[in-house]
Structure formats: C-alpha cells, structure tokens
Chains A and B, each alone.
Chain A
Amino acid sequence: MAADNTRGIREGYLASEPGKGFIASWLLTTDHKRIGILYLFSILSFFLVGVVFGLLMRLELISRGPTIMEAHTYNAFFTLHGVIMLFLFIIPVVPSIFGNFLLPIMIGARDVAFPRLNLLSWYFYMAGALLALTTLIIGPADTGWTFYAPYSLRTGSSVSLAVFSVFVLGISSILTGLNFVVTVHRLRAPGMTWFRLPLFVWSLYATAWIQIIATPILGVNLLLVMAERFFGIGVFDPAKGGDPILYQHLFWIYSHPAVYIMVLPAMGAVSEIVPVFARRVIFGYKAIAYSSIGIAAVGSLVWGHHMFVSGFSYTAAVYFSLFTFFVAIPSAIKVYNWVGTLYKGSIVMDTPFYFVLAFIFLFSIGGLSGLILGALSVNVHLHDTYFVVAHFHYIKFGGAGFGMLAALHYWFPKISGRMYNKRVANFALVFLFIGFNTLYFPMFILGYEGMPRRYFDYLPQYVLWQHVSIVGSWILGASIFTMIGNLLVAAFRGAAAPMNPWGARTLEWQVSSPPPKENFETIPEVTRGPYDFREGA
C-alpha cells in the first residue's frame, strides 16, 4: 500500500478543505472523519460538564446539612448529571465518535452512505444538547432523567423543554443508526464478506438496529408527555382514567435497550483491542458476532424488569424474568471469548490494553453486583439506596466509560496522527482506577447500610464512607483532567505516529495516520479475516 507515515499530518484529512475557510471546513464538512472529530470535541466537552456536576454533588456531601447547595438545587443537579451523562455522553459516545471515524475505513469505503445526513445528525445532537443545557438556566427539571409520569405531567419546572431536548437527541441517534446500517449493507469493499467484518463493525451494526427500532418509541412517548402537558390528552393521567404505568412501559421499551446501546459498542472496541495485543486470532469470532445480534434482540425484550416494583402484572413479570435470564448468556459469551483469546496469546502490554483490563475488571464487578441486587433486594432493602448508584456506575462508567477510554487511547494515533505520552497515560489510568474504586466502592457499603440515593444530606453514621467517597471523587476528577490534558497536548505537539503502532491487521491501520481525505487511494481488495496474525498474511 502506497500510504506510509512520511505523508505528513498536514496532508491527511485534517488539512483545510479547498475553497472553504477553517470554520466552514469543519462546520460544513461531510467527511465522516471530520464529523467524528466534531463529535469527539462536543461529546467530551459535555462529558466534562457532567463530571463537574458529579464532583459538585459529591462536594455537597462533605458535611451534613446544606453545604454548597439546597435540596432542590441538588435535585436539579442529579437530573442534569443523569441527562448529560446518559443522553449526551454515554449513548452517543462510541458510535458517534469512533463509529463515524472508523466504520467506513474498516469496511473499505470512502465515506458513510449518506454523508450530508451524517452532518445533519451532528446538528441535531448539538441542538438537543444545547436545549438540555438551557433547562439549567431557565429552571431545571427535578424529575430525574426518567421523567416518570405523573410527576412529569404536573410539575411546573421546565420538563417540556427537557423532554423536547431528549426528543431531538433521539432524532440524531436514529439518523446515525440508519446511516450505519445502510453503510454496512451497501459499501463494503470487494471481498469484505460479513464474516470478515471487524467485530467492532458487528457491534455497531447491532447497536444501529436498536437505535432504529427502539428510539421512535421513546420519541412518541415524549410527544405524548408534551401533548399531555399542553393539551391534557389524559393517557398517562390517572385523573382522566389514564395509566402512568403505560408511560413506564413505553419509556423502558427504549431505555432498557439503551443500556445495550451504551455497552455494545464499548464491547466491540474491546473485541478489537484484545486480539491485537494478544497477537492471535480472536477466539470464537462468530460467537462474538452473533452474541452482539443476540444481545440486541433479546435485550429489547427485557424492559419489564425495571417495573417489577411499580405495580404491574406478575404474569408479565414471569416473561420478563425469563428474558432477563437469556440476555445474560450472550454477554457471558463475550467475556469468555476475550479471556479465551488472552489465554495462550503472546500478550503485548501497552496502554490501550491496560484500559481493557480495567474495563473487564470493573464491568465484572458491575455485573455481579447486578446479580446481588436481583437476588438479595427482596430480603435486604437495596432499592433506591447507594447500592444501586454504585451498581450502575460500575456498569456504565466502569464498563462503557472505560471501554470508550480504551478505544480513545487505541485509535488516538490513527485519528490525530500523533502519539500521546504513554507514561502520563498509564499514570492517569492507574489513578483513575484507584479514584474510581475509592469513589464508588464505598457506595456499595453505604447502600448496604441503607443510605438512600438522590439525597443531599445524610445521617451521622454514614460520615466515614461518604468522606472516603468524596476523596475518591477528587482523585477521579484529577486523573480525568490529566488524561484529557495529555491527549490534548499530544494532539498538537505529540510526535508523529507511525501508520500501525500496535501491529493491528484491520483496514484502518493499513492507511496513513491520519487517514487521507478519501481514506483509500484505491479501494482495497480484502482477502483475509480481520484478526489474521500469521506471518506474511
């Protein structure tokens, strides 16, 4: 292949597009790589805003009683922390940044199927994000991120605007998913058969399907809430014979699969990194590929287990328990296949791989605590305690968040054309890991002792673990800022990265770093699988 690392960074896609100014060449671009960068910067900015909200919420608990904010401010903060972290960060992060940047290159295409639609979905994302932040200024919603009826119908705060912003974000998500499905179906390079697709592409493909199928249901549900607030159509209002539990159905039909929208792409990135650093073909390629589809399919049918406590029929609960049991199988398959790959691989230790190890460790704790929650919460009151908070932070931050950070450190040299300082990155990871566990592990203990979640105050007996957790939040915050600072410095001043620093075999590493404008001089002919590490392959 003609591309090599002597092609400077200035000649790649990062150079200004001819005939456009600097700003226009970014804001009006249809290049999937540039759109990926737009997402990278916007999503990481919102992530930092969410982190700051989280740190402030922790800081409030440094002493008992109102310290830096009142109860209703705290309520508004956790709603915003939830909305930002879920809808602005963890749902779009991997598909929108890495999916946009890498999916076309990985399948050997010059761009996604609908480049202009792709730019439009970034604009929808930004519009939704700014609307969500506007609610902060005009009086934040205090319903929590679930907007449960009937509170969300009656409360005077800016629920309509918050709901509308989530609706707009949903449109963005649908358009991205639609684009990816068509791209994978239509634009694979010659020889790129379905079973030669990198596993990351498989996971994005499965995710895209969930986005297409589940998001419209959330959309119409939010439209119904707005219609309810403006016109009082009555479907969720018990005063008019409506049923608020139906809101929960429609909400969780989307929001449970959304958990898989968050986790699947991160798992895909991990499936990409593991074989590269184990230097062997991934164990059970087809099993992982099918398990992505399996998670997407079965995961769409288990929404009911969020509603066991809200007074719904137990006949339905039996079905949902059954499906919940089934969905554990494909997830377990993935973990065992990663471990199977590492087993007897010749492992190369390097920064992205450390992130993957942290991911597997934290995600396992998250999963196990979920089982504990299911099996024990009947006897011990764990519902609505800090235990739940710890559990979903281990799943979402420890799982999806660390998966995303692994992806960021793995593909950074390809995206920017420069290499970051690995020592600083490793150092930040170690402290992130320590800070994470110091922050969230005490929450398991607090939850077990009965500390209710979502409250700005606590009883004297919880002081110790609250303080440990707050110290953890400072370590976590400092290491996140160090990590992102390290990458920012590298993006502008780092040493030029070689074409293929990790020795990977997928297509994106066969083009220069950063990739040229249309990805490939000639569309490659694919003749082997994505994880073929045999010599001379």
Chain B
Amino acid sequence: MIRRHLPGLVCLFFSIFLLAQPLCALETAPGVTERTGERVPLDALFTDETGKSVALGALLGKPAILSFAYFSCEDQCNTVLSNLASSLGRMSSAPGDDFLVLTVSFDDEDTRGEAAYKKKNYMSAAGRPMDEGAWKFLTGDKTSIEALTGAIGFGFRKTEKGYDHPAALAVLSADGRIIRYVYGSSYLPADLEMALMEAREGRITASIKKAARFCFSSEPGGRAYLVSVLRVAGLSTLVVVAGLFIYLKGFGRPGKKDKR
C-alpha cells in the first residue's frame, strides 16, 4: 500500500522545494540587495568635501565607481578605501578622465571636514596623479543617504559602536543606472576595468557573488600578526620540503637495505 504510493509521496515532498521561495527579504539587513539596471536618485543632494552642495545627477556624466563608508570607522572602511585607492593606482584607464569615483558616507553626522581629510589621504595613497574632481567624498542628510542606499540596495545598521555594513562597490553608468556590484574589500584592477567598460557600453551584467564580507563594527583591527604567521608557516614548509629532498637524495638509498 505505502510502497505503491511511495513515488508519489516522494515527488510531493520534493515539489515543496520547487514552490517555496525565501520568505525573508528584509531591506534593512546589513547586506546587498541587488538592484541592477535601476537608476539612482539623480536629484539627491550631497555636500562635497569643499562644502558645495551638488545633486548626484550633476556629478555624474561619466561612468562611476560608488563606494560607501562612514568616516569614524576604524577598521574595515579603511581597508576598503585603501584597497580601492591602490587598485585605482594600478588601473590603465585614468580616474577623472575615463571615470569617476564617489565615496558616500552613510553616517549623516559625518562632516565635510572629515571628508576633506579622508580625501587627501586616499588620493595620495593611490600613488598616481589625479584631478581634484576624480574622487569625490560626499556627505549628506538622512533623506538623501536613505534615498541613495535604498536605490543601491545597500543595507546597514547602526550599533552601539558604529555600523554593521557589507563591503561592496557599485558601478554606475554615466546616466546613473546600476551596472553591477563588485563585492569584497579588495578589488582586482582588471575587475573594475571590466565593470567600467560595461558601464561605458551601458551593458547591464550579473555580479560575481563571492564570500560574504562584512564589516562588523566590533571587529578588531590589524592583521599584521596573522600575515607574518602565514609567511612563517609557508617558508618553514618549503624548508622542510627542501630538507627532506636533500636527505633522501644524500642518505636515503632505500634500495640497498630492503632489496636482498
């Protein structure tokens, strides 16, 4: 009886998985909800690092790399920005001429003074000459921040110590459409180059989903210790491998002992 109906039951059981869709689609969660192909709010007003108030639409006009940060962040935002700066330095197309970089603070208490300070640091970190207009550091009020982060699908949350937020860039076309996202806190120059090429052609593509990378405000800074441990481990492995090789070559002669 049961045996006869078993295939049917099994099919029924599996069909649950076909029908079910995720129930949780929370917009305010730290994480990125992709809105590829949609347009960012061009009329949202931000203040640039010189204190000038500008609409987002007036800033664009070229493809742009958009990154989010908050300026009191002590660890991961700095990693994101300095990695972005070093990638900009190694790219073949020129920031300013071929594309723009926008860094928007999502903390409405950040000021243009902090923005100017950050700008000075990271522009010099890029290690290549760039005009003043190539990389903008923007601050804004709550409504414009929420309009922009909402349009991008960038979810963040305030905590006691700062903000929890994802590490990701968005690449925009000249007319403000979202071309795709680049995830993570370090970026391959070639990856940015390709995304910008797609932005120039106005070709909307799929993003590469990578390991979740979050910036939790509670994280400790600095991983120099870890890096050195890794290096020591790698080098010792090499030394041991070389040592074993020399040992076997010089003294091993295993054939003599066992082969009678």
Instruction: Please report A residues at the B interface, Cβ cutoff 8 Å.
Output: 65, 70-72, 74-75, 131, 138, 142-144, 146, 148-151, 153-156, 158, 160-161, 164, 228-232, 237-239, 244-245, 247-248, 280-281, 283-284, 308-311, 313-314, 317-318, 321-322, 324-325, 328-329, 332, 336, 339-341, 343-345, 371, 374-375, 378, 381, 383-385, 449-459, 462
Contacts and interface: CB of A to CB of B under 8 A. Distances in A.
Given A310-B211, A340-B252, A455 B233 contact: no
A363 B164 CA distance: 42
B226 to A, nearest CB: 4
Interface stretch (B57-65, B112-120, B144-152, B187-195): B187-195
Contacts of B20: 160, 229-230
A210 to B, nearest CB: 22
7 contacts: A155-B22, A160-B20, A317-B223, A317-B229, A322-B233, A457-B194, A462-B190
Contacts of A329: 240
A237 B240 contact: no
Interface string B218-260: 0110010111011101111110110011001000111110110
B226 A454 contact: no
Contact of A237 (B24, B33, B198): B24
B214 A231 contact: no
Interface in B187-219: 188-191, 193-194, 197-198, 203, 205-206, 208-216, 219
B29 A237 contact: yes
Please indicate which of the listed interface residues B17, B219, B230 has the most CB atoms of chain A within 10 Å of its own CB: B17
A205 to B, nearest CB: 25
Nearest to A329: B240
Nearest to A280: B259
B186 interface: yes
B2 interface: no
B213 A375 contact: no
Interface string B22-43: 1111101111010000000000
A459 B24 contact: no
Contacts of B240: 328-329, 332
Contacts of A281: 258
Given A154-B33, A232-B23, A321-B229, A344 B237 contact: no
A450 B238 contact: no
Contacts of B259: 280, 344
Contacts of A458: 190, 194
A325 B234 CA distance: 7
Contact of A450 (B188, B237, B244): B188
Given A71-B206, A231-B23, A384-B184, A321 B211 contact: no
Please indicate which of the listed interface residues B186, B212, B258 has the most CB atoms of chain A within 10 Å of its own CB: B212
A238 B188 contact: no
